Amino acid sequence: MTSCSLSSQQEETFAKLNSIQSLVVHQISHLLPSILVLVLGFKMHDWAAPVIAAALFALLAPGLIFQMPGKESAVGFMNMKTSIISMFLHTVLYGLLLILFLVVLDIHMYA
């Protein structure tokens, strides 16, 4: 029986790929209701909410582009790691930006 062990660099690469795969699957599930509406032939007039929500979700995923607070400093960039505090802060930031774009600025996207 052969034991297969991964180096730390391989483990880190594997963890990053799993994180990106998880983000893509979640992103698709986030847009799935809008895609179903389009495929089923219903007319959706305002596309701003699903597009802005999906874009903010992708950009504000902790560790993907930046992480606040970071492990070593206040802001960490592209480290693909997260913490409970970071998830909470990114969730609050996501909600505030979503409110800003959809309620305060009243952005609409018509197809």
Number of domains in the chain: 1
Q: Tell whether the model's pLDDT for residue 5 goes beyond 60.
A: yes
Q: Over range 48-59, report the average pLDDT.
A: 85
Q: Specify the pLDDT at position 66.
A: 73
In a domain, residue 43? The reply is yes
Assess whether pLDDT exceeds 80 at residue 98: yes
Q: Report d(CA 110, CA 45) in Å as an integer.
A: 6
| Confidence at residue 84, expressed as pLDDT on a 0 to 100 scale | 80
**Peptide bond connecting 33 to the previous residue in cis, omega within 30 degrees of 0:** no
Owner of token pair 């909410």:
49
Q: What is the pTM for the complete model shown?
A: 0.59
- The distance of Cα 6 from the centroid of its chain, to the nearest Å, equals 28
Domain annotation covers residue 80 = yes
For residue 79, being part of any structural domain is answered with: yes
Q: What residues make up the domain containing 34? A: 11-104
Quick check: is 99 in a domain? yes
The pair of structure tokens assigned to 22 is: 């998880």
Is residue 1 in a domain?
A: no
* Residue 42, in any domain of the structure: yes
Q: Is residue 25 part of a domain?
A: yes
